[in-house]
A and B are shown apart, each in its own frame.
Chain A
Amino acid sequence: MSDTIVSLPDQSTARIPKDNFITRENGLLSWLLTGDHKRIAILYLISLSFFFFIGGALAGLIRLELLTPQSDLMATDTYNKVFTMHGVIMVFFFLVPSVPATLGNFLIPLMIGAKDLALPKVNLLSWYLYVAGGLLTLYTMATGGVDTGWTFTTPLSTHYVNTNVLTTGLAVFIAGFSSIFTGLNFIVTIHKMRAPGMTWFRLPLFVWAHYAASILMVLATPVVAIAIVLVALERTIGIGVFDPTKGGDPLLFQHLFWFYSHPAVYIMILPGMGVISEVISTFSRKRVFGYTAVAFSSVAIAVFGFFVWAHHMFIMGVSNYAVLIFSLLTMLVAVPSAIKIFNWTFTLYKGSITFETPMLYAFGFMGLFTIGGMTGVFLGTSGTDIHLTETYFIVAHFHFVMVGGMLMAFLAGLHFWWPKITGRMYPEKISQMAAVVTFIGFNLTFFPQFILGTLGMPRRYAAYPPEFQVLNVFSTAGATILGVGYLLPVLYLVWSLKYGAIAGGNPWQATGLEWQTQSPPLTENFVKMPIMDHEAYDYEWLEHQTEERKKEVASAG
C-alpha cells in the first residue's frame, strides 16, 4: 500500500493513550450514567446496530417470502406484520438516529472544539428514550406485532386492525422525543459552543449538514407525534378526526404523517451527506469544491424539504392545483442534491486521491444516491407518479436513497472515524472487499425492483403474478449477498478492537479539529481549548503544522 495516505505511528512503540474517554472510568454504571457525548455515541452505536440487525433479519424474511409468487412461507397476516416491523424498526430505530446519534454525537463537539454537547444530561435522556421506544417495539413484536405498515394509514390503523397499534405508536412517539432532544442539543451546541475562531464558514460540512438536519428534527417530529396521539385517541375513545363517518377527513392523517415523514427523509440523508463531504475531501487531499454552495444546499434541502410532503399523495384526490405546486417544489428540492453530487465530483479534480474503504463507500454513495435522486424525480413528476407510485419503483427508489445512500454513508463514516473512536485501525483489505460486496449485493437486490415497479408490481404484496418471479429471485439473491456485506464489518470491526493497528491521533492526515487530538480522545476532548486559525479543509495548514512538529521533535531529540 505505497499509495496510502495512512500515517500510522511506529507500531512497535505505539500505545493507545492511557487516559482516554474509554479508560477514564470503569464499570457498567459509568457508562449508563455518563454525560460524555462520546460514550453516549457508543451506547447508541451498540443499540442501533442491534436494531439494524433485527430489521435486517425481517428484511431477509420478506425477501424469502417473495422468492416464490405464492404466499407460502408465512400467512399473509404474518407477512404484513413482518414488513411493518421492518419499516418501523429501520426508519425510527435505525435510519433517523443512525449518523446523528452516533457519529454526530461523537464528532460535533470535537469538530467545533467543544468539551461536550451543550446539554449532556439531555443527551443521555435521548438515549434512554430511544432505548425505551426500542424495547417497547420489541415487546410489541413479541406480543403479536402490528400490521398497519410503517405509515399507520387511517382508517386502517384506527378502525380495521386488531394488532398492537397503540404500543407501536407509543414506541414511535417516545423515539420521536429522543430525536427532538438530539436535534435541540445539536442546534444549541453549534450556536453556543464553537471554539474561538470557529466561524460559521469554518465549520466542517458535516456540522452544517447536522445543523440542517437538527432543524428538521426539532420542527417536524412534533407533527408526527401529534398525528400518532390523534390515531390513539380515535382508536381508543373514538373521536372523529380521521373517521369519515363522523365527519373526519381520512386524508388529513396522511398530510400530518408526511409533513413529518418527508422531512424525515432529509433527517436521514443530510447527516450522511455530511459524512461524504468529509471523506471525499480527506481522501483527495482537497478542500471541498464550492464549500459555501454545499453548506447552503444542506440548508436549502432542509427548507424546501418542508414544502413537498403532498407529493406522496398525488393520486389521492388532493386538488389538481395542489399537485401542480407540490410537484414544482419537489423539482426545486432535487436541485441542491444535484449540486452536492457535482461538487463532490469536482472535489476530486486535481486532487491526490487514495482509495481506502471510506472512499469506496463514498463512491458507492455517489452512484447510488444519483440513481435514488433521479428516480425521485420520476415520482415527483406528477404524470409519471400516477403509474409508478405505490409500486416496487417506490420501494427501489427509497432503498436507493436510504440504504444505497444513507447506509453507505454510515459505513463510510464508521470506517473513517473508527480509528478516532477506538484508537485502532480496521483491517483495510477485507473492509475494501466488504464495501465492494455491499455495492454489488445492493444493486442486485434493488435494481430489479425498479423494473418490477415499472411493470406494475404493487408494494406490500405477499403474493404476486408469476411473471414477476424472475426479477424477485434476482432481488432475493442480491439480498443474500448484501447480508454478507453487512455482517463482515461487524466481524472485522470487533476483531480490530483488540488486534487492529494502533491509529495515532491523525492516521488520515485530515484537517478537522477532531483529528488534532489523541485517539481515543480524552473525556474533555482537548488538553487546552483549541483555537481555529485556518479555514476548513486547509491541507496546507496541516502540512505546515506537521513540518513544525517534526522540527520540534528533531530539536528536542
Chain B
Amino acid sequence: MSHISPVLWQFLVKWLTYFALFPPEASKIAPQMDALYFFMVLVSLIGLTVVTLLVISFSILYSKKRHPVAEQIEGSTLLEATWTIIPLGLFLVMFVWGALIYFRVFTPPANAMNIYVVGKQWMWKAEHPGGQHEINSLHVPSGRAVQLTLISQDVFHSFSIPAFRVKREAIPGRYTTVWFEATTPGTYHLFCTQYCGTAHSQMIGDIVVLTPEDYRKWLANSTSGASLAQNGERLFASLSCVACHNTRPDARGPSLANVYGAKLPLASGGTVTADDAYLREAILNPSQHVTQGYAPIMPTYQGQVSEEGIIALVEYIKNLNSDYRIQQTTNTTDLLPEGEARPASAPKVAPAAPERLKP
C-alpha cells in the first residue's frame, strides 16, 4: 500500500475501526430511548423522502420546457388539513412516547442506591455512602438501580453518560437527581456537557460498570475507613453543630433524630418536608428555615463548609434514628481533646448504635 498516502491510510483505518452511528447501549433505559430515536429517524427519513421526491418530480414534470404555462391553483383545504393533521399526529406520538421515557429517567425507584456527585471547575467528585470517593470516575454495579444526587460547587455543569443515554445538570445551590441501571460491565465515557470555563473539555472521566461481585471487591478496596455518614458525624462535631442540636432538655436547637423525611412545622407558619434540599438550605441559610419553638440563633455556614461537607452532614442526619445516636456523638466529642485533632479516631468510637444499651 505504499502508493497510498500514510495519512489517508491512517484515516481509512480509523474510519473503519471507529465506525458507529450510536453509542453502546449499556443501561436499561438505553434500548428504550433508542427505539424512540429510531422511530423518529424513520419518520424524518420518510418525511424528507416525500418532500424530496415531490420537489424532484414536480421539477421534472412541470419544468418550463414540459409545462410552459402554469395552471393557477388557489390551494386545497383537504390537502392543507392532511399535512396539518398527519405531522401533528406524529409529533404527538413522539411527545407522549418521549414524555414516558423522560419520566422514567427522572423518577428513581425507591430501592435505588444513592451516590452523591459534586461538580466543580473542573472535576467530578463522587461520594459513595460507604465513604469511598473518587474523582473523574464513577464505579457502579451492574443490575442495580443507582441514583445520582448532583450538585455543583461553582457554575453549571452537566453529568453526561452517553452509553446510558442519561444526562443531568449539576446546578449550583440545588440538588438534582437522575438514575440508571447499568446492564453491561465495561468502561464508558463521562463528559461534562455544560460549558463551564477554561478546562470544560478536560472535565471528563470514566464510568466503570462492574459485576456485583467485582463491585463489592472494589468497595472493600477503596474504603477510606469511614463511611460518608461517619465523615458527616465528624463534621457535626467539629463545626459544633452538636453544641445546640444535642438532645439535652436545655438544647438551643431541635434534636435532629428522625428528622429526615419528616414534616416540620416552621416558625413562619406552614410545614416543610426535611429532604436533602431542605437540610442543605437549613445549614446555609438557617435564619430563613427556623422550626417552630426555636429562636433564630443559628449562624450561617455559607462558605464554611464545602458541598461535599454538606453532603456528609446530610447523610449523617439521614441516618440518625434516635436521640441516643446523637448523644454518642456528643460524648465522643467531649472525650476528644479536640474534635479535629484526631479525626480518624472518631468513627472508631462511634460504631452503629447498639439498641440494647438504650437507656
Binding site for B on A (CB under 8 A): 3, 5, 71, 76-77, 80, 147, 149, 151, 153, 155-156, 159-161, 244-245, 247, 250-251, 284-287, 289-293, 314-317, 320, 323-324, 327-328, 331-332, 334-335, 338-339, 341-343, 345-346, 348-355, 363, 366-367, 370-371, 374-375, 377-378, 380-387, 389-391, 451, 454-456, 458-470, 473, 539-540
What are 23 A-B interface contacts by the 8 Å CB criterion?
A: A153-B156, A156-B197, A245-B284, A285-B69, A315-B169, A331-B91, A339-B80, A345-B58, A350-B67, A352-B64, A354-B63, A354-B64, A371-B48, A374-B44, A375-B44, A382-B102, A383-B100, A454-B22, A454-B23, A454-B37, A455-B20, A459-B193, A461-B191
Contact of B194 with A by CB under 8 A: yes
Q: Are A458 and B192 neighbours in the complex by a CB distance under 8 Å?
A: yes
Q: Are A384 and B98 neighbours in the complex by a CB distance under 8 Å?
A: yes
Name the one of A80, A247, A383 contacting B99, with C-beta atoms under 8 angstroms. A383
* Chain A: CB-nearest residue to B60: A353
Contact A381 to B63, CB < 8 A, known contacts A76-B201, A250-B173, A323-B102: no
Nearest Cβ in chain B — how far from A467, in angstroms?
Answer: 4
- Cα-based distance from A287 to B72 in the complex (angstroms): 7
Contact A353 to B64, CB < 8 A, known contacts A345-B51, A371-B48: yes
Q: Are B99 and A250 neighbours in the complex by a CB distance under 8 Å?
A: no
Q: Are A461 and B201 neighbours in the complex by a CB distance under 8 Å?
A: yes
Query: Which B residues from 149 to 186 make CB contacts under 8 A with A?
Result: 154-156, 158, 160, 162-163, 165-169, 171-174, 176
Contact of B36 with A by CB under 8 A: yes
Q: Are A339 and B171 neighbours in the complex by a CB distance under 8 Å?
A: no
Query: Which B residues from 23 to 68 make CB contacts under 8 A with A?
Result: 23, 33, 36-37, 40, 43-44, 47-48, 51-52, 54-55, 58-59, 62-65, 67-68
Of B81-89, B125-133, B342-350, the stretch lying at the interface with chain A is B81-89
Q: Are A384 and B40 neighbours in the complex by a CB distance under 8 Å?
A: yes
Q: Are A284 and B102 neighbours in the complex by a CB distance under 8 Å?
A: no
* Chain A: CB-nearest residue to B52: A367
Q: Are A386 and B97 neighbours in the complex by a CB distance under 8 Å?
A: no
Nearest Cβ in chain A — how far from B186, in angstroms?
Answer: 14
Name the one of B160, B195, B284 contacting A456, with C-beta atoms under 8 angstroms. B160
- Cα-based distance from A46 to B176 in the complex (angstroms): 48
- Cα-based distance from A351 to B68 in the complex (angstroms): 8
Residue picked from B11, B80, B204, most chain A C-beta under 10 Å: B80
- Cα-based distance from A367 to B45 in the complex (angstroms): 11
Chain A residues in 8 Å Cβ range of B173: 244-245, 250
Contact A377 to B51, CB < 8 A, known contacts A3-B65, A339-B80, A353-B62: no
Contact A378 to B40, CB < 8 A, known contacts A3-B63, A153-B156, A383-B105: yes
Q: Mark B112-136, 1 if CB is under 8 A from A, else 0.
A: 0000000001000000000000000
Name the one of A160, A324, A335, A349 contacting B155, with C-beta atoms under 8 angstroms. A160
- Cα-based distance from A524 to B162 in the complex (angstroms): 60
Contact of B92 with A by CB under 8 A: yes
Nearest Cβ in chain B — how far from A393, in angstroms?
Answer: 10
Nearest Cβ in chain B — how far from A439, in angstroms?
Answer: 13
Chain A residues in 8 Å Cβ range of B198: 76-77, 80, 147
Chain A residues in 8 Å Cβ range of B303: 245
Contact of B357 with A by CB under 8 A: no
- Cα-based distance from A174 to B49 in the complex (angstroms): 44
A76-B201, A458-B192 known; 20 other A-B pairs, CB under 8 Å? A76-B199, A151-B195, A244-B173, A320-B106, A328-B95, A331-B95, A335-B91, A339-B87, A343-B75, A349-B58, A351-B58, A367-B51, A381-B94, A383-B105, A390-B167, A390-B193, A455-B20, A456-B23, A458-B191, A467-B17
- Cα-based distance from A463 to B169 in the complex (angstroms): 21
Name the one of B47, B68, B74, B193 contacting A352, with C-beta atoms under 8 angstroms. B68
- Cα-based distance from A122 to B314 in the complex (angstroms): 59
Contact A156 to B87, CB < 8 A, known contacts A383-B101, A470-B15: no
Contact of B76 with A by CB under 8 A: yes
Chain A residues in 8 Å Cβ range of B64: 3, 5, 352-354
Q: Are A250 and B37 neighbours in the complex by a CB distance under 8 Å?
A: no
- Cα-based distance from A470 to B11 in the complex (angstroms): 7
Chain B residues bordering chain A, tally (CB within 8 A): 94
Contact A455 to B23, CB < 8 A, known contacts A3-B64, A381-B97, A381-B98: yes
Chain B residues in 8 Å Cβ range of A384: 33, 36-37, 40, 98, 101
Q: Are A386 and B165 neighbours in the complex by a CB distance under 8 Å?
A: yes
* Chain B: CB-nearest residue to A251: B171
Q: Are A350 and B62 neighbours in the complex by a CB distance under 8 Å?
A: yes
Q: Is the interface of B mostly helix, strand, loop or mixed?
A: mixed
- Cα-based distance from A382 to B36 in the complex (angstroms): 11
Contact of B144 with A by CB under 8 A: no
Q: Are A317 and B195 neighbours in the complex by a CB distance under 8 Å?
A: no
- Cα-based distance from A462 to B19 in the complex (angstroms): 22
Contact A462 to B162, CB < 8 A, known contacts A352-B64, A367-B52: no
Q: Are B160 and A250 neighbours in the complex by a CB distance under 8 Å?
A: no
Contact A335 to B87, CB < 8 A, known contacts A290-B76, A363-B55, A456-B23: yes
Q: Are B189 and A456 neighbours in the complex by a CB distance under 8 Å?
A: yes
Chain B residues in 8 Å Cβ range of A350: 62, 67, 70-71, 73
Contact A160 to B97, CB < 8 A, known contacts A354-B64, A371-B48, A460-B195: no
* Chain A: CB-nearest residue to B172: A244
Contact of B240 with A by CB under 8 A: no
Nearest Cβ in chain B — how far from A16, in angstroms?
Answer: 28
* Chain A: CB-nearest residue to B67: A352
- Cα-based distance from A352 to B63 in the complex (angstroms): 5
Q: Are B98 and A80 neighbours in the complex by a CB distance under 8 Å?
A: no
Contact A383 to B63, CB < 8 A, known contacts A156-B197, A470-B18, A540-B72: no
Q: Mark B272-315, 1 if CB is under 8 A from A, else 0.
A: 00000000000011000000000000000011000000000000
Residue picked from A341, A377, A378, A385, most chain B C-beta under 10 Å: A377
Nearest Cβ in chain B — how far from A523, in angstroms?
Answer: 35
Contact of B14 with A by CB under 8 A: yes
Q: Are A80 and B197 neighbours in the complex by a CB distance under 8 Å?
A: yes
Residue picked from A289, A363, A458, most chain B C-beta under 10 Å: A458
Q: Are A464 and B201 neighbours in the complex by a CB distance under 8 Å?
A: yes
Contact A335 to B88, CB < 8 A, known contacts A345-B51, A382-B99: yes
- Cα-based distance from A147 to B55 in the complex (angstroms): 43
Q: Are B67 and A351 neighbours in the complex by a CB distance under 8 Å?
A: yes
Chain A residues in 8 Å Cβ range of B176: 316-317
Chain B residues in 8 Å Cβ range of A327: 95, 98-99, 102
Contact of B21 with A by CB under 8 A: yes
Contact of B219 with A by CB under 8 A: no
Contact of B139 with A by CB under 8 A: no
Query: Which B residues from 241 to 268 make CB contacts under 8 A with A?
Result: none
Q: Are B302 and A245 neighbours in the complex by a CB distance under 8 Å?
A: yes
- Cα-based distance from A456 to B33 in the complex (angstroms): 14
* Chain A: CB-nearest residue to B164: A387
- Cα-based distance from A510 to B144 in the complex (angstroms): 67
Q: Are A341 and B51 neighbours in the complex by a CB distance under 8 Å?
A: yes
